[in-house]
Homo-oligomer: A and B are copies of this chain.
Amino acid sequence: MIIGSSNMKPYLLQMLKELALLGAIENRVEISSLELAKQLNTSQQTGSRYLLELDKQGTITREMGIKKQLIQITEKGEEALQDEYMRYRSIFELTDQVSFVGKVVSGMGEGRYYTAQGGYSKQFKEKLGILAFPGTLNVEIRHIDKNKIRLIKKHAGILIDSFESNNRTFGAVQCFPAKINNLDGAIVLPARSHYSNILEFISKYNLREKLKLKDDDEVSIIIFLNKDK
Contact = CB atoms under 8 A, between A and B. Distances in A.
A64 B154 CA distance: 24
A26 B94 CA distance: 12
A88 interface: yes
Contacts of A11: 10-11
A13 to B, nearest CB: 7
Interface string A71-82: 000000000011
A91 B87 contact: no
Contact of A151 (B2, B26, B41): B26
A107 B165 CA distance: 65
A179 to B, nearest CB: 21
Given A30-B147, A88-B85, A150-B27, A18 B41 contact: no
Interface of A: 1-5, 7, 10-11, 13-14, 17-18, 20-27, 29-31, 35, 38-41, 81-82, 84-85, 87-92, 143-144, 146-148, 150-151, 154
